[in-house]
Structure 1
Amino acid sequence: MKTPRHSRTTDQILDEQHARHDRVSMLAHDARSALADILGGLSLFPDASLDPQTHQQLERIQSASEYLARLLELGLDISIPHYRAGADYPLRLFDFLTALERRWRGAAEAAGMEFHLAVAPDVPAILGIDALALERILANVISNAIAYAGSVPIHILFEMRSATGLRVYMRDAGPGFAPDNLATLFDRGQRGAQAHLRQGDGLGLFIARTLTHQLGGDITARNRSGGGAEIRLDVPLSTARPTRRLAHRHDDITLPDLTNCRVLVADDSLTNQAVLEKMLSAFGARIETQSDGIGALTALLEAPFDLAVLDIDMPGESGLGVIAALRDSGRDWADLPIIACTGFVLRPDHEAIMAAGADAILTKPINGMLPLACAINKALAAKPAFCKARRGAQDLLFSALQQRAEEPESKTLALYIIADLKMIARAMMHSWQQVDTADIQRQCHKLIAVAGAVGETALSTQARALHCAIEQETQDDIHERVREAPDRTDSLIHQITSQFSIKEYILP
């Protein structure tokens, strides 16, 4: 009896089982390492008080626990048919580095070592790479260094090898690799000259190489001329545009309404000024720009602002210096919300910026409207008393119209507003039928201005949401927003006509 052409041979089945065993054993190795971190952190608690060391170890435990949870999710992907956890993509640099530092700084210091993270300024805030795979690679390399390098500093450096390639250096000042072991360092079962002193199965660097190759990258090791070891990791980055999965984290974000708010933007880059000015204007703000710290501080001290977006690294005076000087100035508006805009992505840098008096941090490069919206919301929420006082000082047109409803000029103005709203609603629906998204955005700008002028925050915010959705959401989502806009516009028209007893939308 002949074997069916497409049936698997015994050798193929054994090969598949062997490959499956390899994957499970590597995953189990990483899971055991994470669990060892949790147990190691627990053993270092001196008592129930949260002194700095205890706090650090608590963070380490939390980070390792999160890592273990992701590994178990990956285990389900391997073990259960048709289960798909999905790659942890894309990578958010600040979150990734924070978790990396929380996990490994405590482990290194417990072993008598210093742990240093550095990031080149050209590394983007969001990277097209599987974050869990990269974390597993680094975890194996770092744990290997902690085990064998001795009481020396460990340095991790992230930089861009090219526009589509990430490079990570992991260096220590220890004894280095045995020259005879360099050629086979990443092979299965290789544990080095000091293997007899420690338990292990020699899988760590083998896993690092396997995962690196799965990402399409390369990992190499060498002994540095000045002493110590270096492992260099090169991995390609995806250039595909992030999918909507990236935006799920922001689905519940309310777009801020900055109608009639004065906002100072200070940045020595004209490009950054233009980007921020365009996005803040879409939120209804009136923008003033400065290109250095001294100009920014002068402007802030001369007249009140509702919000400031300050670059931290500016000529003349740093953003930190500007924040400190304003906070100490005694001005009535010295407590205004401040967003610090910076390329620094490490947690200690962010902690120093917040300690200096910033209310929120916006990491450069600025990847769209939503990160800016998040920063604005956080900054405004940090200063509710200031924002409430400023809102009370605004003389919105609608309030003025209500107070003078019987005056002929107010009724005339109301008729103009109604005419504008009807024209915008008709033009928006026509543009949608013609698939003219550029004109829809133009109508959004008009609607933001008109609705904002009469104090209709809900409609103004909805118009901004539609403006942002044009470039970020699906056609179905945009269509739904376009349909909602005329309904709210009609509601505002009805409100105005009722207030002024207008029976028809005809200008005198």
Structure 2
Amino acid sequence: MAERGFRAELTESGHGAQKRAAMLGHDMRAAISDILGGLSLAELGPLDPDSRLQLKRVQSAAEQLARLTDETLALVSGDELDQIEAPIHTTLQPFLDRITGRWQAHAEEHGLAFTLDTKPDLPGIIGTDPVALERILSNLIGNAMKYSSAGTVRLKAHMGPRESLCFRVRDTGPGFSDAAMARLFEFAGRPAESSQPGTGLGLHIVRDLARRVRGQLQLANLAEGGAEVSVILPRAAWAPGVQSTGDLHDLPDLSCCEVLLAEDNPTNQLLMRQMLETLGARCTLVKDGQAAAEMLAAHRFDLVLIDIEMPRLSGIDVIRRLRTAEGDDPGTAVLAVTAFVLAANRDQIYAAGADGILAKPIMSLDALGEAIMGVLNRRPCNCTPLSDSPPPFDALHLDRLLALAGPEDGRELLIRMHDDLETVRGGLIEAFERGDRTLLLSRAHVLISLAGAVGNGALQALAENLNAAARRQDNTEVGRLCPRIVEHIEALCTALKAEFGSRYNKAGA
């Protein structure tokens, strides 16, 4: 009895810590959201070059702080952050420009220069986790500046052999000593005789993150003095399913959409309204949950963006009321905007009936546009500029994948993709008939990757929605989605089979 009581006390204590971590996470993200919102609005005003440089530096640091907050709180609470619901698509040049803006200001403070050297053959989009990559580069650049008393720290990005993506940070310091080389990546591995402050934790972090993104590290002392640390990403690490340069997804056209924005924070109200109007939406703003519920009861909207934590009535309660009132109707597309990001919070929001979740702070118009496209793919409305019958695959996308694979490997790639899709189709049918949730989740997960690999955004969105429905055990939604997804897979298999014939059978293969 005493042992059971002690265990129960520990469990209650653990739940209390998780709840406290979630609440702290919410307040921290809300504060960071205010900072980023204010910085974004400050950009609209006239600034001299030095002030704009400092603004960019603070903005980049705040964005990185928001990402690190998520990871830290997930670690403290013992929870896991929800998996990203779509493949990562990071536009490379703006990513590098943001890093440059941040570190140029640091360099000036230390009497140094910082330069970015890029080559024209860089990919437009990469699939590498931008949070991990930014932490890697920031640690390398920070170390380079620490050891350079004068001169220039350089970040070079270029394509290497076999389409590897290379990031090289070069400094003008003394280089690595033999003692440093021997312990370089160890935890707190800085040699005791080092005159620089710190413990050497930065390179230990870099090694861990490089492994996470499947990258390789190279270090060298330069003949002319200084050191160079390189992060090499093989093609499989940076380009799983990405599109060719210039083939970026367009932002959604909301010019015929009536959008309800429910948000109580004045900074977020102004920022999000500007973004929505930039996308062409006609935006109605309400400042609390009760007003949102009343507005939804009186008017039909094409899209609802709703903050989860609001006065008088929470966003979750508003969504539940909306879904109850809609009954069997197709329903309104709902995007929840929240500073609560842990998995349990997200499950609760999806269970209430949200079609998608966008975490605060909102980093960019692209992030908002992508989230809106995601919910409109799941729950199309009259304003959605989506085709009723999108092509089974993106031709340019597939062309690039097969060209990179080469003739023989390209043949094998098409055959394998076709066979994998047939396996997924059969598995989904079997899982639905048997009520096998585990099999359903595994097949939906594979389908998300396959659909992304051929650029079929509609099928990918359906697979993501099926995955979410299976996780929350929504059998009604699973039953609605499975037949549609099977039809999409059959169409894609037919298209890939025809593509194989047109590409390879003509050559007598």
TM tier relative to shorter chain: 0.3 to 0.5
Instruction: Compute the TM-score of the two structures, normalised by the length of structure 1.
Output: 0.39
Find the structure with the greater CA-based Rg. 1
Higher relative contact order (CA 8 A, sep 6+): 2
